[in-house]
Amino acid sequence: MTTSRLPPAVFTLKQFLQRQKVLGLYRSMLKTIRQVPDDADRKYLRNWAREEFQRNKNASNQDAIRMMITQANMHLDDLRKSLALAKS
């Protein structure tokens, strides 16, 4: 494991993969939010995403984390669909 996002604590492989998934999710979320046309909406959504991810930063139960990932994916899909509708 040579990536440098490795924190001081050591992870099992599953935890490590989950962590990478969460970070990738955060990235996709930010990228999608970037496409929102209105500036105020964009700021609001960015703050919302930031708050949500930061709040659950210290969760350690893998199942809970998995649920949160699913929820985040749902939010992301909602956002993408609304953007697609708004553009058409």
Q: Given the rule CB under 8 A, which residues bind another protein?
A: 3-5, 7, 19, 23-24, 26-27, 30-31, 34, 50, 53-54, 57
CB of 78: closest distance to another protein in angstroms?
21
Count Cβ neighbours within 10 Å for each residue of 18-32 and write b for 16 or more, e otherwise. beeebeebeeebeeb
Question: How far, CA to CA in Å, does 34 sit from each of 30, 44, 46, 64?
Answer: 6, 12, 9, 28
CB of 5: closest distance to another protein in angstroms?
5
Shorter beta-carbon distance to another protein: residue 39 or 85: 39
CB of 46: closest distance to another protein in angstroms?
9
Q: Give the number of residues written for the chain.
A: 88
